[in-house]
Amino acid sequence: MKKILLLLNAMLYFFTSCSAQKGGDNTPVPESIYDFKIEGLSGETIDFAQFKGKKILIVNTASKCGHTPQYEELEQLYKTYGEKLVIVGFPANNFMWQEPGSNKDIAEFCQKNYGVSFPMAAKISVKGKDMAPIYKWLTDKKYNKLENSKVSWNFQKYLIDEQGKLVKHFDPATKPLSAEIVNAIK
């Protein structure tokens, strides 16, 4: 019995370490942020190659979170710095089931309550074994060449510079219009 358990543990380690270079759905993780093509809330494709030359702020969002009012500041930030910044929201239901709706429900909520005009991706997972490849890129130094991080809650923010390099991440409580974020964008 002990040998079987050791064998099973070894197999589990092998399979989890082999899949570490892929996203949760076994999709390979691209080398560059500009190689990502993501499904949008309405089924359109968000092609990150179109953002070359702009800063990109990636935010995991949820409509039933204490940080949900940050949508308002994210929209203000997007309208103020839109010539040099794009914001991409990634709805995720990873924290206390705070994003339970469908893509259609999320799109309606964002438009009705906050007038969101920045790109919003289809709902994904930002942690765990089903983590989306873009979040694997954002959180793994092997891909982003800056740091390892973990998404700690809804509205964690990742800033990518005009050359496609991750430069910083901000914790969920950091407001989008905080001096820290605005100065990093300017």
List the catalytic residues.
65
- Distance from chain centroid for Cα 30: 15
- Pairwise CA distance, residues 136 & 126, whole Å: 8
The answer to whether residues 93 and 101 touch, using CB atoms and an 8 Å cutoff, is no
The answer to whether residues 126 and 60 touch, using CB atoms and an 8 Å cutoff, is yes
**Pseudo-torsion of CA 115, 117, 123, 127, nearest 10°?**
-100
Cβ within 8 Å of residue 149, ≥6 positions away:
138, 139, 169
